[in-house]
Amino acid sequence: MSYNIAVMPGDGTGPEVVAEGLKVLKAAAERAGFSYDLNTYDFGGERYLRTGETLPDTAIPELAAHDAIFLGAIGHPEVKPGILELGILLKARFALDLYINLRPVKLFPGVETPIKDKGPAEIDFVVVRENTEGLYASTGGYLKKGTPDEVAVQESINTRKGVERCIRYAFDYAGRKDRRGQLTLVGKTNVLTYAWDLWWRAFNEIGDADFPAIKREYAHVDATCMWFVKNPEWFDVIVTDNMFGDIITDLGAMIQGGMGVAAGGNIHPGKIGMFEPIGGSAPKYMGQNVINPLAAIGAVQMMLDYLGETQAALWIEQGIIHAVSKMDSLSAGQMGMGTTDVGDLVAGLVANA
């Protein structure tokens, strides 16, 4: 097999962690016997400051021609918040119709979690976040803007088609060999009675008709935050909307050991996926070889799993677990080794898997 991969290292420490991810990708390809071509794109804060361009329309079909995209981080201290996030990250999600945001929350052995008395056996679930609708759809508007009578409306868009394709993906995922066959719908049926009624009906209709073997559960989003801390073992696969998914996955990242290890994928199943460490560009750590590249390496793992290179993905996960056991901490500057050493460790283990 051969894959076409677009690389967007982006800003801050993005390029450093991407370099380590690519090191591991190379080792995995050699070991597993697949090949790939890389096309690197410089979208990010530097390019924006130079040219005024975020993600130009002409780049969309070019990116779409790849099997996958590997993204470092977007965010530049000299660019006003919102410009790069909307102009690059959200634009890619929408323009490429990456309707799934897949975020595993898995605590590796030896990694510290703030949750007392919980370990790897209890913290192992996956959040499937809808990635193109809800409050992120950017519909709404102002009335009497700038006056004391101002009204601002931000609408949550939930289409049957959008909800259904997301729920179907989540049911499928819950049926994977490496999951436990349980899908929890996380919503707010007690207050947001239009949107979550649609989600609730679709969830049950699809489950009854096509996934009778998957156990269905439901939790309100506020209660879910409580359970993440109190009984994270109750979750296997979660499906939720864009905004709730955004919020609960930051909490999820914390209980799995922090932003240094949390990776995610923005996916249009069967078409293309964009994989990224979910932490930011951490400009204050830039260029010092102190940032933790494990999240970016985890993104490569997810990318290979998405591409069907399941064995290579498993080797990378074992490599990450091995690296974690040798590191003092997963926090930037406290790892007891440099960014490049962490990449070498994982790549070495993959090469000899």
Residue with tokens 């939720």: 240
Residue 224 Cβ, how far from ligand IPM at the closest point, in Å?
Answer: 16
Phi, psi of 48 (to 5 degrees): -65, -45
Residue with tokens 């979208």: 43
Residue 251 Cβ, how far from ligand IPM at the closest point, in Å?
Answer: 12
Give whichever of 266 and 327 is closer to ligand IPM, judged by the CB atom: 266
Q: Which stretches does DSSP call E strand in 82-207? A: 100-106, 124-130, 140-143, 151-154, 182-187
Distance CA 182, CA 236 (A): 6
DSSP 8-state class, residue 107:
P
317 binds, among ligand IPM, Mn ion, none (CB under 5 to 8 A by kind): none
SS3 256: coil
Give whichever of 253 and 346 is closer to ligand IPM, judged by the CB atom: 253
Select from 330, 335, 270, 251 the least CA-distant residue to 298: 330
Residue 168 Cβ, how far from Mn ion at the closest point, in Å?
Answer: 24
Distances 250 to 122, 169, 188, 270, 288 between C-alpha atoms, Å: 18, 22, 19, 27, 26
Residue 76 Cβ, how far from ligand IPM at the closest point, in Å?
Answer: 13
Residue 352 Cβ, how far from ligand IPM at the closest point, in Å?
Answer: 34
Give whichever of 42 and 250 is closer to Mn ion, judged by the CB atom: 250
85 binds, among Mn ion, ligand IPM, none (CB under 5 to 8 A by kind): ligand IPM
Residues that bind Mn ion (CB under 5 A): 246
Residues that bind ligand IPM (CB under 6 A): 85, 89-90, 246, 278
Neighbours of 212 (CB within 10 A): 9
Give whichever of 88 and 347 is closer to ligand IPM, judged by the CB atom: 88
Which residue has the closest beta carbon to ligand IPM?
Answer: 85
Handedness of CA 152, 266, 100, 252 (dihedral sign): negative
Residue 75 Cβ, how far from ligand IPM at the closest point, in Å?
Answer: 8
Give whichever of 14 and 343 is closer to ligand IPM, judged by the CB atom: 14
Residue 250 Cβ, how far from Mn ion at the closest point, in Å?
Answer: 6
Residue with tokens 């380590």: 20
* Contact of 167 with 239, CB cutoff 8 Å: yes
Give whichever of 274 and 294 is closer to ligand IPM, judged by the CB atom: 274
Residue 120 Cβ, how far from ligand IPM at the closest point, in Å?
Answer: 24
335 binds, among Mn ion, ligand IPM, none (CB under 5 to 8 A by kind): none
Phi, psi of 153 (to 5 degrees): -120, 130
DSSP 8-state class, residue 38:
E
Length of the chain: 353
Give whichever of 246 and 317 is closer to ligand IPM, judged by the CB atom: 246
Give whichever of 246 and 309 is closer to Mn ion, judged by the CB atom: 246
Select from 272, 262, 322, 326 the least CA-distant residue to 294: 262
